[in-house]
Chains A and B, each alone.
Chain A
């Protein structure tokens, strides 16, 4: 039985975390994440959710509690935003290197300085190399479904998963969504038995100092050094794409929703021009595409759901028939260009067809993103006879600057 409701994105996330059976939750307040963990603490205090809630003194400690709990075999969850995520940075790398299956919601927000409490993606983008799987939701239903699937992905791959959704656009906005039945979720996401856990009856030393070279253990078995262990993380993270697709297929079979785990396509079947974006920004482009289609321009939107591991060949294959691709993003690698743009460009390089690429930076620190501006940017990029030099084409254009 499904439960339909209208609630905020943060509450949707909290209800999904409850459904997922998270056992240990540790969090520190930060806007716009706070209502998510407030809701969790309320449900736990009222006895509506069976879990330990640890109100820690920092985000660094929030993830530390999750690291401790997951290492001892508990399903763990935390959530944060912006500078809170950056304060966790050391622990992000640690959790990934320790191969701990945990889930974190990142309610995306601009990073200081200067302070901004409003939305962009710089927080998550800046942590893209930490070894976490990163997925992006673009509506409340996706927050619920992705969070549930994220726990299963983390536990099957032993890689932590970050579920990203836009601050305010989703976190504080009310939208309808469906919550699956608890018993059905339990069947989809059964309790997980950890292989290597802290247990006095089977003592193991976890995350000990490794040496540059592989070494033999006391039984004469050769064990990897740091580099071999890290290579495993990378290889298994690449394989996580397939696992994510399988999980999505199972989820779709059980709950009727899904089918677009890696990216969600809108009007892309015959598209000559494809817009690529993540999160709610991708939704906004549906209006742009409708208008362009009405004018006879074959445009479509690729909404990227999974950013790390980066689905290089999925995207490159899809874009083989496109003439032009425009990447719009709310974050960048300072001093270079949009991080997603750079990723996409490198994904296309080994393939024969390389469409014209344009990069746009928009909406930083909550700057209003006007659909009209998006329309103009896409339309200009679609026009033939664009005489820009390669350097100009490769330079990101900023939309919505006011000075």
Chain B
């Protein structure tokens, strides 16, 4: 498979569809994604947004930070509302892209039923989940994607005791047209994937790890660095699933050639949310990462034979 042309910084459009001075926190990973995402999507889009940081970032009535048409809806129904907008566009014979953009709580927890329904119907929409791994907009409560051991205001002292949901794999089990994982720290990879998603009919799902300095307990200037580390440690893998075939994206794919992944501890040490993890727990997490990458390498060998 030949890789399509990669986005470069110089290749991005100069047009800005989000105004500066919006309500995002300093160092917000979502604000990077939103800015770059709109450049890839262009103006012919309608956004559907449930309660989330994005609701606030887009502005409080009657002032809007975005130049896109946006439908704010109830928490549990993002994918269903997007379905309705898509149906209306179909009635009008318009190709306008309908983009559902929700957080991890709105996707993995309260919104998963509506998402599953839309996946089963293979609605022609783009669904973006920006995953900052907790309910950040309400002040850092645990969500389905909060990692094991993560401290939140509802998993205090000990950190979350349960494993996180692997939402892209749950989505992939519905066999949709397109699944991709992205990182706010690799915005050009995200741009590439959105361009690809725009060309595909059916439901396109993009799951983006999105560092959140206030929620993760890290320095605001470290947003990009931390997201990169998650990928380089092999913790968060960037990939695409097209027609059922999974393929690692370049930032993760290049790790296959490395003898040793960057230690997970580098990533964990930069965030106060992992302060409750014991050495044994970290070793266990490292072991699971190493096993997964062993599987990747073995699968690659088999493919090569």
Contact = CB atoms under 8 A, between A and B. Distances in A.
A209 B113 CA distance: 25
Contact of A90 (B67, B74, B114, B121): B74
Interface range on chain A (Cβ under 8 Å from partner):
35 or more
A262 interface: no
Select the residue from A58, A65, A68, A223 with max chain B CB neighbours within 10 A.
A68
A91 B75 CA distance: 10
A223 B121 contact: no
A68 B66 contact: no
Contacts of A200: 43-46, 68-69, 96
B266 to A, nearest CB: 38
A100 B77 CA distance: 16
Interface stretch (A211-219, A243-251, A332-340): A211-219
Interface in B13-65: 43-46, 48, 55-56, 58-64
A65 B83 contact: yes
A76 B85 CA distance: 11
B44 A58 contact: no
Nearest to B88: A72
B177 interface: no
A242 to B, nearest CB: 30
Contact of B46 (A72, A76, A218): A72
B120 to A, nearest CB: 7
Contacts of A24: 84, 87-88, 91
Interface string A193-230: 00000111011111111110001111001010000000
Given A200-B43, A208-B58, A57 B71 contact: no
Contact of A94 (B59, B62, B73, B91): B73
A270 to B, nearest CB: 51
B62 A223 contact: yes
B68 A67 contact: no
B276 interface: no
A70 B58 CA distance: 22
A202 B44 CA distance: 11
Given A60-B77, A64-B74, A64-B114, A72 B63 contact: no
B282 interface: no
B84 A64 contact: yes
A181 interface: no
Given A64-B77, A200-B96, A208 B72 contact: yes
Contacts of B120: 57
Contacts of B64: 205, 208
A206 B72 contact: yes
Interface in B75-116: 76-77, 79-92, 96, 113-114, 116
Given A198-B46, A209-B61, A215-B63, A69 B85 contact: yes
B80 A64 contact: yes
Contact of B61 (A26, A56, A69, A210): A210
Contacts of A67: 73, 77, 81, 84
Contact of A57 (B56, B87, B114): B114
B117 interface: yes
A218 B63 contact: yes
B76 A60 contact: yes
A94 B87 contact: no
A141 interface: no
B190 to A, nearest CB: 21
B69 A204 contact: yes
A402 B59 CA distance: 58
A189 interface: no
B121 A52 contact: no
Interface string B262-303: 000000000000000000000000000000000000000000
B70 interface: yes
Contacts of B58: 205, 208
A73 interface: yes
Given A205-B66, A208-B59, A211-B61, A74 B88 contact: yes
Nearest to A204: B69
A235 B67 CA distance: 32
Contact of B81 (A64, A205, A209, A217): A64
A199 B242 CA distance: 30
B19 to A, nearest CB: 10
A204 B85 CA distance: 14
Contact of B85 (A55, A72, A210, A217): A72
B302 to A, nearest CB: 38
Select the residue from B55, B64, B87, B91 with max chain A CB neighbours within 10 A.
B87
B12 to A, nearest CB: 20
A71 B87 contact: no
Contact of A60 (B43, B80, B87, B121): B80
B96 to A, nearest CB: 6
Contact of B84 (A26, A90, A210, A223): A26
B257 to A, nearest CB: 43
8 contacts: A26-B83, A58-B113, A64-B81, A65-B81, A65-B87, A200-B44, A205-B70, A209-B60
**9 interchain residue pairs of minimum CB distance:** A68-B84, A57-B117, A72-B88, A64-B77, A64-B80, A61-B80, A65-B84, A69-B84, A223-B62
Interface of A: 23-24, 26, 52, 54-58, 60-62, 64-74, 76, 90-91, 94, 198-200, 202-211, 215-218, 221, 223
Given A90-B76, A216-B62, 6 more contacts: A24-B87, A52-B87, A54-B87, A205-B69, A207-B73, A208-B62
